[in-house]
Amino acid sequence: MTDETAQISEDFADDVIQGLSRPHKRLSPKYFYDDAGSRLFEAVCRTREYYPTRTELALLRTAAAEIAAYIPDGAALVEFGSGASLKTRLLLDAAPQLAAYVPVDISPDALERATASLRSDYPALLLSPLVGDFSSPLSLPADIHGCPPIGFFPGSTIGNFTPDEAVAFLGRARTLLGSNAQFLVGADLVKDEATLVAAYDDAAGVTAAFNRNVLARINRELGGDFDLDSFAHRAVWNAEAQRMEMWLISTREQTVHVLGKPFHFAQGEGLHTENSHKFTPASFTELAGRAGWRVVRTWISPEPQFALFLLTASD
């Protein structure tokens, strides 16, 4: 085990014990994505009901030329998350004036994979990965000095944060990217409840398996004894907070053990596993504004609506 993976499993253990010890039990959605979970997420994206990924990709495709017109010569694309996906390539293809690509991630392995896959296809592009997670102050790599930065945060991952966390994230990105930066953020929009609930509770049960996988991961990595069949998947729209919530509901009274510690579940008791905030152009503009960003352009897909917001550092 590397120091990095040892640290991650220690954080995982602490977070799980803490989350299960609360009067309202919860787990962080960041732990969904082990190898099995990442594969399950990809399967979720292929379900008919889960529209965000394919909708954002189609929107990027139609907006790419217009987005490229905002990108200056010699700019650096700074992507938050390991990236180098189809979405990244769409931007790189549409904006050949991009001189550098800087993926930012806590995992050196993910960064290595991301840059390796681009190296042969974009030989002229400077690849400059940045290891970091924002909990400590970051600065852009020295070799992109002088390249105007454009941040990229696709996938509506921003929706997993609480509004205050989202503002903190956007503020740290603003500090990292600097005062002449732009930032392209993909975010899912508020829409009718039926479409939202179906997207998080597909008929084939792929999202249910994705949700339950976090219990399987606890069993695998933390010596847990969760009985996956005793937890029902629930997806609910919280209208007041404008977010989709995923829950696992204990279908019987039971005691589960993790790292030797017992955790009691009443019948019907919920374990909250994810918030996925949805936005309106107005609510997103307000959030970005609190972090020092101004919305300069918004692209919205046909229904089910998904948005790309182009932000500029506003001073």
- Give the footprint of ligand AVJ on this chain (CB under 6 A): 44, 52, 155-157, 159-160, 200, 207, 274, 276
Nearer to ligand AVJ, 149 or 270 (CB): 270
The least distance separating ligand AVJ from the CB of residue 52, rounded to whole angstroms, comes to: 6
Q: How many CB atoms lie within 10 A of CB 239?
A: 9
Query: Half-sphere exposure of residue 267, counting CA atoms within 13 Å on the CB side?
Result: 2
Q: Which residue's Cβ lies closest to ligand AVJ?
A: 276
Q: What distance in Å separates the CA atoms of residue 157 and residue 251, rounded to the nearest whole number?
A: 30
The least distance separating ligand AVJ from the CB of residue 69, rounded to whole angstroms, comes to: 27
Nearer to ligand AVJ, 82 or 276 (CB): 276
The least distance separating ligand AVJ from the CB of residue 160, rounded to whole angstroms, comes to: 5
Nearer to ligand AVJ, 273 or 312 (CB): 273
Q: Is 89 exposed, middle or buried (0-12, 13-18, 19+ CB in 10 A)?
A: middle
SS3 190: coil
The least distance separating ligand AVJ from the CB of residue 34, rounded to whole angstroms, comes to: 14
Nearer to ligand AVJ, 107 or 254 (CB): 107
Nearer to ligand AVJ, 210 or 226 (CB): 210
Q: What distance in Å separates the CA atoms of residue 200 and residue 211, rounded to the nearest whole number?
A: 10
Rg (CA), the chain: 20
Q: To which H or E segment does residue 37 belong?
A: helix 35-45
The least distance separating ligand AVJ from the CB of residue 207, rounded to whole angstroms, comes to: 5
